[in-house]
Amino acid sequence: MDYVGINARNLRFPVNRPLTEAERKEQLDPIRSTGVAPRIGLSLIKFNSTYIELVDRWYPVKGFNVWLSVMGALAFAPTSLYLLINLIILGEPFREDERWILWGFWIVIVPLSIFIIAGIVWLFRSECFRWTHYPMRVDRRSRQIHFFRQDGTVATGAWDRLFFLIGESTTPPIGKTNDLRVHILSEDGATVTETFSLGYEYLGERQDLLGIWEFIRQYMQGSEDDLAALCAMAPIYMPVHERKEGFVFGVIRTFATFARFPLLQLVFSFPYSFIAMGRWLAMATSRIPRWPAEIEAASMVGDQDRYRRDWRDNPPLGFMDKTWPLICTAVGVLTATWILYVIEQALALRG
């Protein structure tokens, strides 16, 4: 999955460097429209006349790393334990001409095992025991954007001084992906000090990102009359404001990748059902992000704000949006159970 920008070697956004010519060519002007219709997709947490709050780029794919790490552990652990127990603990003493087997185990197998275990642990910890999400608050009143960093601290940039662009990254095996990116620049206006993904559309196109940009741009640059139209565009709000995402919505969000293709949801029910379980585990073990008191105080929203929206204003979800993904999850679990039963029966017959 696309984890560009996460706090890991070779995935972090490069900082403390000059802007590149390619980035300058992709710059987005907050004052000038791109001509693309605004859209926000499944990105909004909150909307009001003071600020909007957005999820981070890793929120859509949360759970994949947990699933991958568990699958890796299940595939690796039995083989390693078998070798350790039968070769070292229970194995008969090696003859002199067989000592190379023992040395090969310690020189090759053990270091390789440590490397694999470290990778499995990193994958698991990249989503578990961290934060449920990393929100971004776009404040219309103060004309600032607040970014919740991965270490729990907050970065703030002035809207009129930030550098917006369509960023491009390459992540094997996905290949090239794009996101709506923002640089915080130093005083010279040409050196990147921090970078964040302000908008992201998993498996989306460039036009989708430009639509998200137009939504944010019009929210910040438009008049009070524009807020009503923008508010009406949000299909649903992510239920992570001051709470943890529940299992049911985690299933819905996981299968939303193929929301327009219900048959594909069924086809991919086996892996996606377990990714949804990994997502639930990641959410359950992670902390809810909290903005500093000074940011909350500066962006207070009155009870009479007619544009005030969050997950509590979501419309009821129908069969295809809610029930069908849950059915696909059940099918995926039953498929896995059947596969394990077939393997167990095959092993029993061989024994």
The answer to whether the bond into 173 is cis (omega within 30° of 0) is yes
- Whole-number Å distance between alpha carbons of 341 and 163: 55
CA 65 to mean position of chain CA atoms: 10
In three-state secondary structure terms, 90 is coil
User: How buried is residue 18: exposed, middle or buried, by Cβ count under 10 Å (0-12/13-18/19+)?
Assistant: exposed
Query: Cβ(324)–Cβ(252) under 8 Å?
Result: no
Hey, what are 139's tokens? 């404040």
What mean pLDDT comes out for the span 267-272? 94
Pair 67, 278: CB distance under 8 Å: yes
Q: Residue 53, exposed/middle/buried by CB under 10 A (0-12, 13-18, 19+)?
A: buried
Of the two residues 67 and 9, the one the predictor is more confident about is 67
Q: What's the mean pLDDT when you consider all of the chain?
A: 90
Token output for 183: 């640089």
Contact 135, 289 (CB under 8 A): yes
| Residue 274, pLDDT score | 96
CB-based contact 60:41 (threshold 8 Å): no
CB 133 within 8 A of CB 240: yes
Supply the DSSP symbol for 302: -
Q: How many residues does the chain have?
A: 351
| Percent of the chain topping pLDDT 70 | 92
Please state which of the ranges 77-91, 132-146, 185-199, 254-268 shows the lowest mean pLDDT: 77-91
pLDDT over 80 (residue 105): no
User: Residue for token digits 């585990």?
Assistant: 281
CA gap 79, 91 in Å, rounded:
15
Greatest Cα pair distance, the chain, in angstroms, is 86
**pLDDT-derived band of residue 209, with 50, 70 and 90 as boundaries?**
very high
Angle ∠(46,237,51) on CA atoms, nearest 5: 15
Each residue's pLDDT tens digit, 294-328: 999 999 998 889 999 999 999 999 999 999 999 99
pLDDT at 97 over 70: no
pLDDT of residue 175: 76
Q: How many CA atoms lie within 13 A of 192 on its CB side?
A: 18
Nearest to 30 by CA among 199, 212, 220: 220
List the domain boundaries for the chain: 17-66+127-341, 67-125
